[in-house]
Amino acid sequence: MWDYTDKVKDHFLNPRNAGEMADADAVGEVGSIACGDALKLFLKVENGTIVDATFQTFGCGSAIASASALTEMVKGKTIDEAAAIANEDIATYLGGLPRAKMHCSVMGREALEAAIADFRGESVEHEEEDEGAIICQCFGITEAKVRRAIREDRLETLEDITNFTKAGGGCQSCHLDLEEILAEELGNAETQAIAPAPDAAKAPLTNIQKMMMIQETIDREIRPALRQDGGDIELIDIEGNKVTVALRGQCVECPASAVTLKHAVESKLREFVSEELVVEEIR
């Protein structure tokens, strides 16, 4: 059973801005009912600022919550500001989404991109993805869309691909093809990382990027090991480079908890996120 935050439940049970907008200045539509998820986003724009947003969706509770959250996020933003919203931002606004439901936030981002392109009179940048060769017949997902998700969302496993795109979540006949694509993309990324441009400067992480990477590292690299010994960990707060966590379960009374904090938690966060992070425990 997935663990939904209270904010996800609230936006699902009490969706904001649901319904069609008759006088919309921009409309973005993605997905299809045949593939299980569809979202239509309506924007009202005045002097370059989004003053209202509504949505219609066919999908699960996470899809409804993500669309509801997105309409609240874009109101009051300029078109350029809204264009910078990523699917991770939608998930963060909701207090997090189960990994298996991240494709719902991705659908929200794509609907926003389509609506902004409609307002500007442009074609959607990733239109070719939807018209390319289909790699997952069950959900109509193209190879180009999978490759984009791997690059932009830093996907590392076949399960990640399914979570963020739904590809491979049906009959599974495309799994071998998806694994080949993943290996190619990861290989390209590794080559670029090994030989960066001599004057390339590493861009600082935004607060949202840092938050998402910390949570992802905890979920993927730290929590599974703690749970094997009956323990757990909860992310409490992030302030600058200080990360506050709370150990749970057997870890609370463990005499080696201080060692766990430094060697199993802080070292992993420094390895995968930033060498400047310092972890502190709250009880």
Contact 161/185 with Cβ under 8 angstroms?
no
Residue type, 173: S
Contact 161/145 with Cβ under 8 angstroms?
no
pLDDT of res. 74:
96
Residue type, 73: M
C-alpha 27/C-alpha 52 separation (Å) is 12
Name the residues annotated as catalytic. 35, 104
Q: Domain holding 274: CATH number?
A: 3.30.300.130
Q: Which among 85, 120, 155 is the end of a domain?
A: 120
- Give the CA-trace dihedral at 144, 126, 68, 88, to 10 degrees: 60
Whether 38 and 66 share a structural domain: yes
pLDDT of res. 193:
57
What is the number of H-type helices and E-type strands within the chain? Answer: 13, 8
Q: Which domain holds residue 272?
A: 207-281
Distance of CA 125 to the CA centre of its chain: 19
C-alpha 105/C-alpha 117 separation (Å) is 18
Q: What is the pLDDT along the chain (283 residues), one digit of tens a residue?
A: 457 899 999 999 999 999 999 999 999 999 865 556 789 999 999 999 999 999 999 888 899 999 999 999 999 999 999 999 998 999 999 999 888 888 888 999 999 999 999 999 987 655 444 556 788 887 788 888 889 889 888 888 999 998 888 888 878 888 999 999 999 888 876 665 555 555 445 567 777 778 888 888 888 888 887 887 788 888 888 888 899 988 888 877 777 777 777 777 888 888 888 888 899 988 7
C-alpha 267/C-alpha 261 separation (Å) is 9
Q: Which among 64, 92, 120 is the end of a domain?
A: 120
Residue 18, SS3? strand
pLDDT of res. 190:
61
End-to-end CA distance of the chain: 27
Whether 11 and 104 share a structural domain: yes
Whether 106 and 138 share a structural domain: no
Q: Report yes or no on 1 lying in a domain.
A: no
Whether 47 and 98 share a structural domain: yes
CA nearest to 277, candidates 200, 201, 218, 192: 218
C-alpha 218/C-alpha 220 separation (Å) is 6
pTM greater than 0.75: no
Q: Report yes or no on 202 lying in a domain.
A: no
> H helices of the chain, where?
6-13, 61-74, 79-83, 87-93, 102-120, 127-131, 143-152, 158-165, 175-194, 207-217, 223-228, 257-259, 267-272
pLDDT of res. 24:
96
C-alpha 265/C-alpha 237 separation (Å) is 14
Q: Domain holding 13: CATH number?
A: 3.90.1010.10
Whether 145 and 243 share a structural domain: no
Instruction: Give how many domains the chain has, as a whole number.
Output: 3
Q: Report yes or no on 69 lying in a domain.
A: yes
Whether 138 and 110 share a structural domain: no
